[in-house]
Chain A
Amino acid sequence: MIGSIAAIGAGLAVIGAGLGIGRIGGSAMEGIARQPEAASKIQTAMIIAAALVEGVALFGVVVALLGTR
């Protein structure tokens, strides 16, 4: 039972991360399409922002993982 609730929690965390990283990736694509010469700078900034979002989502996943113990 606790395992299932933890799994739901992990799933919710993943939804948040998906939305966040999706928006970052989409915006970066638009930015690169408008200004292809800035692609490398946009990519670096995109990866950093994605990592920050992912970090928060992973907090959720880790807590869910600890919950199953």
Chain B
Amino acid sequence: MRLNTLFLKKLFVLSLIFAFIAGVNASAFANSEHNETVLKDSAHVTEAHAEGEGHAAGHGEEPFEPTKVIMEHISDSHDWHLWGHTSIGLPVILYTEAGLVTFNSSEFHHDQEGTHVVEKDGQKFVRFENKIYYAAETANEKGQYLTLADEHPTNAKPLDFSITKNVASMFLSAIILCLVFFSVAAAYKKREGKAPRGLQSFIEPIIVFVRDEVARPNIGHKYVRYMPFLLTVFFFILINNLIGLIPIFPGGANLTGNIAVTFVLGTITFLVTNFSGNKYYWKHVLAPDVPWWLYPIMLVVEVIGLLSKPFALIIRLFANITAGHIIVLSLISLIFIFKTLYIAPVSVAFVLFMDVLELLVAFLQAFIFTMLTALFIGTAVEEHHH
């Protein structure tokens, strides 16, 4: 119990520090956003002047589209946006009809409209809304090297294995996790039997919590086998949730709010659960205690039950994290919707509040995912006493 309160105190202090940093960052983020829009606006105005009377009156200012901006920020991208027009190019790796093609994503020059063609190894590529297509021979009336049908390109796509922003962010979190846990493991070997120290004393309560509150009550005496998996899942989700909350450079990738990432996590849970299922578990699924004529229905229901459990995990993590990011970005967008800086204090205050709430959600979702995984494994390895 003493351990628990100590941990809570530490958590509280840490969250306060984090909230402060997050608040400062949010305001910095707001400023850079503002500059960018101003830049865009002025660029557009000069363009409009150059085109002369072709456009109707009242088109002088580009309308701010919050939905588009928010979707841009929560989706994956080929380059890592820093501020304004500065971004880090990441490697693009394409598997085309003529083998592997690699180049730096900065060669697209921030183009997302399919107007800038990159030519590599005799093949031409364009990027349209974060997807890379084979370029068409000629440009259409808007200068896009694409054939659009209903605003969606119909061009063929190469297979994209690029190191995108999300992948780079995942590498970063993997490096952090390896550094932290190898050093903690080394400390346990070196100081065996002694009280934990430094980083050890921060990590130990969390590991003990996962063992005593999550693994043991749900799985039973076979819990030791599943501890590595549960801890890995817990810390992977936790660190990526936290990195996703940082709005500036090394953070900001919406990794756990990406359906593909959560899908893989859910699939691993599904496989682990079903491969560790004992005969009672499979009997319950394949030959439940019901009259034989109910089997056709029960079998379908049980199989759907198997699939829906990891599916719920996938959607829960994805939707929680994405919703959090959307709310924060919407609050920042208020400044640009009302076109005044006076709304900024309100906006930043709400963002600060939401960031603190998201900090709670980051821990809670990591906990819930691990907890339900342990619960599913527990039902799979449970011995029956009939």
Q: Do these two chains interact?
A: yes
Residues of A that sit less than 8 Å from B by CB:
44, 47-48, 51-52, 54-56, 58-59, 61-62, 68
For chain B, the count of residues having a C-beta within 8 Å of the partner chain is 15
A52 to B364 CA separation, bound complex (whole angstroms): 13
**Cβ-defined contact, B372 with A54, below 8 A:** no
Flag whether B316 is at the interface (Cβ < 8 A).
yes
CB distance from A3 to the nearest CB of B (A): 8
Q: Which residues of A contact B318 (CB under 8 A)?
A: 62
Judge if B315 is at the interface, Cβ distance under 8 Å: yes
A61 touches which of B319, B364, B368, B375 (Cβ 8 Å): B319
CA distance A51 to B368 in the complex (A): 7
* Further pairs besides A47-B364, A58-B323, A59-B319: 13, Cβ < 8 Å: A47-B368, A48-B368, A48-B372, A51-B316, A51-B368, A54-B316, A55-B312, A55-B315, A55-B316, A58-B315, A58-B319, A62-B319, A68-B67
Identity of the chain B residue whose Cβ is nearest the Cβ of A52 in the assembled complex = B312
- B371 adjacent to chain A (CB < 8 Å): yes
A62 vs B375: C-alpha distance when bound (angstroms): 25
Chain A interface main SS type: helix
Neighbouring B residues of A56 by C-beta, 8 Å: 312
**Contact partners of A62 in chain B: CB under 8 A:** 315, 318-319
A55-B312, A58-B316, A59-B315 as given contacts; A44 in contact with B213, CB under 8 Å:
yes
Q: Is the CB of A51 within 8 A of B372?
A: yes
- Measured CB to CB, the closest approach of chain B to A39, in angstroms, equals 12
A56 CB to closest chain B CB, in angstroms? Answer: 8
Shortest Cβ distance from A59 into B: residue:
B315
Residues of B within 8 A of A47 (CB): 364, 367-368, 371
A68, B364: Cα distance in complex, Å: 28
Within 8 Å of chain A (Cβ to Cβ): is B106? no
30 contacts between A and B (CB under 8 A): A44-B371, A47-B364, A47-B367, A47-B368, A47-B371, A48-B368, A48-B371, A48-B372, A48-B375, A51-B316, A51-B368, A51-B372, A52-B312, A54-B316, A54-B320, A55-B312, A55-B315, A55-B316, A56-B312, A58-B315, A58-B320, A58-B323, A59-B315, A59-B319, A61-B319, A61-B323, A62-B315, A62-B318, A62-B319, A68-B67
Q: How far is the CA of A44 from the CA of B4 in the complex (A)?
A: 15
Closest 6 A/B residue pairs (Cβ):
A58-B319, A55-B316, A51-B368, A55-B312, A62-B319, A58-B315
CA distance A54 to B318 in the complex (A): 12
Scan B300-316; emit 1 where CB is below 8 A from any A CB, else 0: 00000000000010011
Give chain A residues whose Cβ lies under 8 Å from the Cβ of B315. Answer: 55, 58-59, 62
Give A61 to B316 CA distance when docked, in angstroms. Answer: 11
- Report the Cα distance A59→B371, complex, angstroms: 20
- Complex formed: what's the CA distance from A52 to B323 in Å? 17
Distance, CA A25 to CA B375, complexed state (A): 21
Q: How far is the CB of A22 from chain B (nearest CB, A)?
A: 18
